[in-house]
Structure 1
Amino acid sequence: MKRSTRAEMVARRWLLLLLSLAAATGVLRVGGQGGAPDKTGFVSIDCGLPEKSSYVDGATKLEFTSDAVFTDAGTNHNVSAEYATASTTADRIFYNLRSFPAGGGAARNCYTLPSVVPGSKYLVRAKFMYGNYDGLNKPPAFDLHLGVNFWQTVTVPSADWLGIAEVIAFVPDESVQVCLVNTGTGTPFISGLELRPLTSSLYQHANATQGLVLLDRRNFGAGGSTAVRYPDDPYDRVWSPWSNPAEWSEISTTDKIQNTIAPLFVVPSVVMQTAVTPRNSSKAIDFSWDVKPNHVYPDPGMFFILYISELELLAGNAVRQFNVTIDGVIWTKGPYKPIYLSTDSLYNAEAYRGIRQYNFSMNAAGSSTLPPIINAAEAFSVISTANVGTDAQDVSAITAIKAKYQVKKNWMGDPCAPKSLAWDGLTCNYAISTPPRITSINMSYCGLSGDISPDFANLKEIKYLDSSHNNLTGSIPNVLSQLPFLTVLDLTGNQLNGSIPSGLLKRIQDGSLNLRYGNNPNLCSNSSSCQPTPKKSKSMLAVYVAVPVVVIGALAALLFFFMRKKKGSFFAWPTKSTEKPQILESGMQPHRQDDNEQSLEQLQNRQFTYKELEVITKNFQLLLGRGGFGLVYDGFLKDGTHVAVKLKSESSNQGFDEFLTEAQTLTKIHHKNLVSLIGYCKDQKYLALVYEHMSEGTLEDKLRGKDSNAGSLTWRQRLRIALESAQGLEYLHKACSPPFVHRDVKTSNILLNAKLEAKIADFGLMKAFKYDGDTHISTARVVGTHGYLAPEYATALQVTEKIDVYSFGVVLLEVITGQPPIVKCPEPTSIIQWARQRLARGSIEGVVDARMRGGHYDINSVWKVADMALKCTAQAPVKRPTISDVVVQLKECLELEEGSTSDDTSGSCYMVGNSIDRNSSYNTYATDVSQGSTTFEMEDNFGTAPTKDTCPDAR
């Protein structure tokens, strides 16, 4: 259990109460039994309400409480009297607020809200009305964060503006923090906070790595009605009425609307009971949404959901069918026909970008006798929630230290993340795949009093601890000696007493710790109590060292004499080496090279002139292919070495700097499963790269391209190619320092030589990790290929090694199925979703490439690779294996295949470690088919939910 500040401890008591209620009533029931919907887990806060105050909202009957127990910063205010009136708002929550002036030194101030079930999905809503509470009549602007992730910028346009910020996101921990960040454009404030638990099946666009920020939520045809929320909506979503009497007619029904799309969205029946149609039946229903860019997301991704139900029982030959377009582009796959008294939805599977205003138009189809209809709609922008907070143990320890010493610094929110808001005096380590860890604390001259907190000993990664020049009393705890990485402990200028503990004395003696403890009058009053155990005298040490040295020297001389006499009998004494040392970039470790690459090593780093390239390629006679860098030509060096020459095109996006980065980096990387760069050309305007030639082309061609009819690859060949490709990626991720992320792993970048040995190609897209201002690495643009992009990279530009793992999972599915990453079946579908649907049926035959079905393969190894591929393509990066894990599994699969002696595999069972029933194992994928799609073109992104699988089996 974490120790925390008063606000956090009270919030924790709330959590325990909520957990007890959840256990007693059943966690997160959507509906009560004969009464109002279950509100277990609801947190409703009126910010600025006096401590211990509460009231029941007249409309929702929900109890709102003071925010005093959820934060320990800020000051309470009432809005000016002119704004606390029913003419401005009838919502009592806007009449007071809490502000966070910068005078306290904190750029970030946070609320800590409890979650009922860690790892669940929640709706978090913040409310704002400035109301000229400070008399300055200067509406501010500031940032809002959800934990360590940016949420949105709050820009207040006027004193009477009623602002609502809402996000749907996963909460991985037992609490979530909502933080207001001062950006220098006014004092942050907040009027209200609400937390509402959602079932995990709702809004599947929101996952572990991305959240949905509400742009708009509308109830069409509600006319003069008020907004619909709890208890009509069990999740307390707010559905605002939207009408346009000049253009739209409103229709309604009192019949209950069946929620046939549950559990995807669960729209309240009262919302679906109203709708609009155009007054002129020959016209369309037109509406639009403006995108709201900000400094973090200048081009935010957008999701839209339209909810439709037929409210009229159509008689005779009446038909209602219509098409939906966005900016004139067809959105629906064909004329859409609403279902009578049944909720249906239209939505995009992938985020849209690049448009500032999305104009929707619903037009009657040619055969329709009735105009279009719409009942409700939602619009969301996408934010990344992939950034992770500080290690939980470190957070618990530093929070307890903060509470003990009542630290008055800017210690609010997460200690380390984001990096730009890390706590004063703390230094953190930002690793690639693990949460940040605290490595240094400077609390000197902070007015600390009392004893040294034992919680310091829970900061297991700390290297430097400075608590000097305070008023610390008591003895030095021996538990500090157990900190494995602590190298400096500064306790100078305190009021400590007693002696130095034996554990610290031992660390001092072995040289692993520098302890500074001067100016502590009562410490080490007995001088012997602070002295380490005496070391051996220098004279004895010299004896201990000298004797072995003399003996070893004599033996070496005898050995040298013996070898000179017997020269050549056992091995030759080496002559002076003529091998040049390998020159590496700063920080890059040497790379080992296999014996079969010695000839290529001799050619490494060669710089060619353009005229030499003309000779090598016979004036660029034979074109091998075309890539993002430029055209690739066939060629031969003077010694007969077969090469491929990549000549930079004029239209290439890569400039001079990118070229030099690629050339200088690639000439230093050598591995048997990476295509070797022999040399490069930088001759005036000409830039080119010279690679070893791979005679058998790409894996893509072997699977389904120009070489696919030359004889299909066997399963054993495919397995070996997959393993060798994974080994190449493993080298980039693990052996290079710093590690590299390829960012464009695909079958066309896996090349094969004459022996069908696989090598990873095209490292021009690789970028070394550079620790910028956050816990993860952001890049300026997406570099990669449609169908292979990991969701956190495609939507939020988050780059870790796990995006290569995701892409490689797609490659594995291609190896098994022979299908492309986007399967035409008949509508474009991600191969991940396509495979999940079939594997959920419990049969591997539904996905295996038809050209392998007549061959021999061990069904266990195919199941194992399929399972691994789906794990690699998990939505959450933390759930994906490392590429090293993949290598281990592929080796086991190859062993299974090579050990198979029976042609009859019908009786085989799927095994990973222990024997598992294949059907029960793959039934889990049936509920996860929607997670596979990654990036479709706009016209291919929409359809009704749920979609019935009508695609054909594999070839």
Structure 2
Amino acid sequence: MKKMKLRSMTMGFKHFIFALLAGLALLLVVHAQDQSGFISIACGLPVNSSFTEKNTEINYISDATFIDTGTSNSISTDIKDSHQQQVWNLRSFPQGNRNCYSINVTGGTKYLIRGTFLHGNYDGQDNLPQFDVYIGANIWETVRVDNSSISIWRELIHVPSRNYLQLCLVNTGRGTPFISAIELRPLINASYVTKSGSLALNWRADVGSNEGYRYPDDVHDRYWQSLNYFSWTNLSTNLTVDSQNHNDYQAPSVVMSTAVTPLNGSAPLGAFKWDSDNASTEYYVYMHFAEVVKLEANQSRSFNVTLNGKYWYGPLVPDYLSTTTLYSPSAISGSGNYQFSLVKTEKSTLPPILNAFEIYKVKYFLQSETDQEDVDAIAKIKSTYGIKRIWQGDPCAPKGYSWDGLNCSFEANTPPRITSLTLSSSGLTGQISADISNLVMLQYLDLSNNSLTGSVPDFLSQLQYLRVLNLERNQLSGSVPAQLIERSDNGSLSLRILGKGGFGTVYHGNIEDTQVAVKMLSPSSIQGFQQFQSEVKLLMRVHHRNLTTLVGYCYEGTNMGLIYEYMANGDLAEHLSGEKTKILSWEDRLRIATDAAQGLEYMHHGCKPPIIHRDVKCTNILLNENFHAKLADFGLSKFFPTDGGTHVSTRVAGTPGYLDPE
């Protein structure tokens, strides 16, 4: 038997989709209440716009100051009339794998976080997507849209550890992500306590009611869904049920003023039940009770609570017009289905009563966010240089969505740290930012092919883990710090510095403890030198997570070679031919295909002018340690003019590989 906690203080189941059906109106008694601490964002609303929703009197603002990507859209007019104003617009994200809102909050405060998604046929094509929603580095929910006229709500009770919250929408290849509204409501920290983890809403019900309620009836703006069965007898009162002054849960009086009992006064009350999506899934249940009938001297109401037929708590005697909240201090798990029942005690003259309940699923957010020092440093670097890449959300985590141009370390029980920063050909101007010195775990730094000025700063010498420093083709001047030269000479640093107006001084060093891949030019290759030059020029100007990164090159006499990042799992051809013992799973294969397609999409549409690879085959698709794919071998690639005045051949070139028979 689990120990229960009882508070006389106011207030699968297969993945329950808490959705608002088209045409459902929330009937609310509107009156002014304090919205202090509320964050109410209407996504896609024009910049600097705001409004007060007429039914709830909640004040909403535009999302434009919380995100710098995405497209504003409006839902279809015929759908708009049956929904509240905060979902009339939305923001969609046709570009980028991950797009994130950054919202200032009070760290350590418990919040109810709600995301609302109403497609509303905004695209005129009724293309219904499925995508993931993340809180920081951890997945919160998968949103699947099955009907463009139905609002989907996702609620989470969560305590942010930092003074900002990042809500990210991730494209999983099943349609364009979008979001209609984001709402954050501070809760009392003593409520909804868990042993660990956050709480995702499964079900919240106002029992015995025929209406739905939210703010202003609920000071925390929780949605209460009406629930009524023919097997119940309804009870109600017109008097106020005290739930605000002495209960941390503060269930609304209007919710607590209705209740149910069984039709048969001697029978148990089958309160509620649900099926679990997995026996290991953990749940927290909160039941709210208040006596709404003034009992006579000879009347009494007491009952026990059972779970799946076993005693759980009791006896419970509800207080008249005062809320009692019953909950377990530890999670419920280990069963495929759950049923709570209320059973009348022998001494009770009246049957059991229930006013409201809430069911939450435990969400464990185990992926650590990037070390705060690194987050602050890279944010300042982004601001200093006005970097235009889609740098949103956590810089490193989750591993598959780290920022373009960054590599990070992931070690158990420690936050991820930035170990590599590539900003080559990024249009950087001014001096080398001192904020780079705060990336203390940095091993690789490439600032080549920019317009940086001034001298090479001493603080770069203080990056003790730095193994590769590339400052080629900038407009740097002055002397190089002696410590950098010394580290280059003793082989602990690969250093390349090209001075103003020419090649200047080039320092060569070995790359210790760093794995790289080297591609050497064959002396017998007739077109090798031309392809070598072509590949160098192209890789210096393109940067994408699905294109191999050029670390450097060597050119000494007739010996020429390109130095790439190391791809631990070789090329795709080796895995498809049976040379490798590991058999690629279907998930691996789909991810590899998607990665390769995204690399090509970037070359075709993300580069100006577009680039045609011309030699795509399995041997030119390389796999890293996590089996993420990157395109390689760009020696035969060509820039494609966009003015229509020049013809460029896009025929397949290079050594034969697999080609579609068609």
TM-score range, shorter chain: 0.5 to 0.7
How far apart in 2 are the matches of 1:43 and 1:351?
A: 29
Q: Which residue of 2 aligns with 1:233?
A: 218
Q: Once the 2 structures are TM-superposed, how far is the Cα of residue 500 of structure 1 from its aligned partner?
A: 2.0
Instruction: Describe the superposition over 1:604-654 as per-residue Cα deviations: whole angstroms up to 9, x where unpaired.
Output: xxxxxxxxxxxxxxxxxxxxxxxxxxxxxxxxxxxxxxxxxxxxxxxxxxx
> Taking structure 1 as reference, are residues 80 and 289 closer, same or farther at Cα in structure 2, changes over 3 Å only?
farther
Q: Which amino acid aligns with 1:322?
A: F
SS at match of 2:176: coil
SS in 2 for 1:65: strand
**Is 2:321 the partner of 1:330?**
no
1:153 matches 2:142: yes
* Deviation, structure 1 residue 69: 0.2
Per-residue deviation, residues 196-254 of structure 1 (Å, max 9, x unmatched): 1222212112x7x410011121112232x341x3333222222222223x232322223
Pick one of 71, 77, 89 that aligns with 2:73: 77
| 1:451 Cα offset (Å) | 3.5
CA root-mean-square deviation = 2.8
Q: Find the counterpart in structure 1 of residue 6 from structure 2.
A: none
Partner Cα separation in structure 2 for residue 81 and residue 298 of structure 1: 44
Q: Is the 8 A contact 2:303 2:345 kept in 1?
A: yes
* Structure 1 residues 86-485: aligned runs within 5 Å: 86=82, 89=83, 91-101=84-94, 104=95, 106-115=96-105, 117-205=106-194, 209-223=196-210, 225-227=211-213, 229-244=214-229, 246-259=230-243, 262-291=246-275, 293=277, 299-332=280-313, 334-485=314-465
State the 1:531 CA deviation: 13
Cα distance in structure 1, aligned partners of 2:81 and 2:239 = 37
Cα distance in 1 between the residues matched to 2:281 and 2:498: 56
Q: 2:51 pairs with 39, 50, 55, which one?
A: 55
TM-score, structure 1 normalization: 0.48
In 1, distance between residues paired with 2:403 and 2:478? 32
Q: Give the CA deviation at 1:486.
A: 1.4
Give the secondary-structure state (helix, strand or coil) at the position aligned to 2:373.
Answer: helix
- Contact 1:427/1:440, CA 8 A, preserved across alignment: yes
Contact 2:98/2:169 (8 A) holds in 1:
yes
Matches of 1:250 and 1:490, distance apart in 2: 75
Aligned-pair CA distance for 1:515? 1.4
The residue type equivalent to 2:327 in the other structure is Y
Report the alpha carbon displacement of residue 510 of structure 1 after superposing the two structures with TM: 5.3
Q: After the TM superposition, which segments of 4 or more aligned residues of structure 1 sit over 6 Å from their partners?
A: 529-532
Task: Output the amino acid matched with 2:87.
Answer: F
Distance (whole Å) between structure 1 residues aligned to residue 336 and residue 180 of structure 2:
30
Instruction: Name the CA distance, whole Å, in 1 between partners of 2:217 and 2:499.
Output: 68
CA deviation string 1:148-207 (max 9, x = no partner): 1221111112111211111111111111111111111111110000111222212112x7
Tell me how far apart the structure 1 counterparts of residues 400 and 247 of structure 2 sit (CA, whole Å): 39
2:484 paired with 1:504: yes
Structure 2 counterpart SS, 1:112 = strand
CA contact (8 A) 2:473 2:503 kept: no
Contact 1:221 1:251 in 2 (8 A): yes
Map residues 537-552 of structure 1 onto 2, 5 A cutoff.
Answer: none
> Among residues 457, 482, 493, which one is paired with 1:513 in the alignment?
493
Alpha-carbon distance change, 243 to 129 in structure 1, aligned in 2, over 3 angstroms:
same
For 1:311 and 1:242, the matched residues in 2 are separated by: 17
- Provide the rounded CA distance (Å) in 2 between the counterparts of 1:260 and 1:70: 33
Inter-CA distance 277–292: structure 2 relative to 1 (3 Å threshold)? same
Deviation string, structure 1 residues 20-58 (Cα, Å, up to 9, x no partner): xxxxxxxxxxxxxxx965433211000011111100122
Whole-angstrom distance in 1 between the partners of 2:435 and 2:503: 22
Whole-angstrom distance in 2 between the partners of 1:77 and 1:220: 37
Question: Over residues 282-333 of structure 1, what are the superposed CA-to-partner deviations in whole Å (9 max), with x where a residue is unaligned?
Answer: 444335454574xxx884211111111111121132222233333333332x
For residues 49 and 506 of structure 1, the distance between their equivalents in structure 2, rounded to whole angstroms, comes to 56
Cα distance in 1 between the residues matched to 2:332 and 2:305: 16
Where do 1:776-791 residues align within 5 Å?
none
Over 3 Å counting, the alpha-carbon distance change for 1:286 and 1:110 in structure 2 is same
Mapped to 2, the partners of 1:299 and 1:180 lie a distance apart of 27
How far does the alpha carbon of each residue in 1:474-532 deviate from its partner, in whole angstroms, 9 at most, with x for none? 432232222222121111233333332345345445554321124753575xx7x9999
SS of 1:118's partner is coil
TM-score norm. by structure 2 comes to 0.68
What runs of 5+ residues in structure 2 fail to find an aligned partner? 1-30, 510-624, 628-662
In 1, the alpha carbon distance for the partners of 2:115 and 2:246 equals 27
Secondary structure of the equivalent of 1:401? helix
Instruction: Give, in whole Å, the separation in 2 of the partners of 1:329 and 1:82.
Output: 51
Residue 456 of structure 1 deviates from its aligned partner by 1.3
Q: By percentage of residues, which structure has more strand?
A: 2
- Partner of 2:40, secondary structure, is strand
Q: Report if the CA contact (8 A) 1:150-1:383 is conserved.
A: no
Task: Number of aligned residue pairs: give it.
Answer: 482
3-state SS in 1 of match to 2:190: coil
Deviation at 1:464, TM superposition (A): 0.9
Aligned partners of 1:145 and 1:152 also within 8 Å: yes
- Deviation for aligned residue 1:133: 1.1
Offset from partner CA, 1:53-73 (integer Å, 9 cap, x none):
100122332210000000111
Q: Is the 8 A contact 2:497 2:507 kept in 1?
A: no
Residue pairs, 1:536-575, within 5 angstroms: none
- Shift in alpha-carbon separation, 1:337–1:356, aligned structure 2, 3 A: same
- For 1:65, the equivalent position in structure 2 comes to 61
Greater RCO, 1 or 2 (C-alpha within 8 Å, sep 6+):
2
Bigger radius of gyration: 1
Partners of 1:46 and 1:503 in 2: CA distance = 53
Aligned AA (1:279): L
| Kept after mapping to 2: 8 A contact 1:301/1:382 | yes
Secondary structure, aligned partner of 1:214: strand
**What secondary structure, in the 3-state scheme, does the structure 2 residue paired with 1:124 have?**
strand
Runs (5+) with no aligned partner, structure 1 = 1-34, 533-770, 774-955
User: Which AA in structure 1 matches 2:300?
Assistant: V
Q: Map 1:919-938; keep pairs closer than 5 Å.
A: none
1: CA distance, partners of 2:312 / 2:51: 46
Structure-to-structure mapping, 1:576-587, within 5 angstroms: none
Q: Which has the higher helix share?
A: 1
Indicate the percent of aligned positions where both proteins have the same amino acid.
42
Change (3 A) 1:274 1:200: same
Decide whether aligned partners of structure 1 residues 487 and 530 sit closer, same or farther in structure 2, where only a CA change above 3 A counts.
closer
**What residue identity is the alignment partner of 1:96?**
N
Taking the TM superposition and a 5 Å limit, the aligned residue runs for 1:645-664 are: none
Q: Look up the match of 1:697.
A: none
The CA distance in 2 between the partners of 1:275 and 1:463, in whole Å, is 64
Structure 2 SS opposite 1:331: strand
Residue in 2 aligned with 1:865?
A: none
Map of 1:707-746 to 2, 5 A cutoff? Answer: none
SS at match of 2:396: coil
The answer to whether residue 474 in structure 2 is matched with residue 494 in structure 1 is yes
1:262 is displaced (CA, Å) by 4.3
Deviation sequence 1:394-430 (CA, Å, 0-9, x none): 1111122223444444422101112222222222122
Instruction: Report the 3-state secondary structure (helix = DSSP H, G, I; strand = E; otherwise coil) of the residue aligned with 2:472.
Output: coil
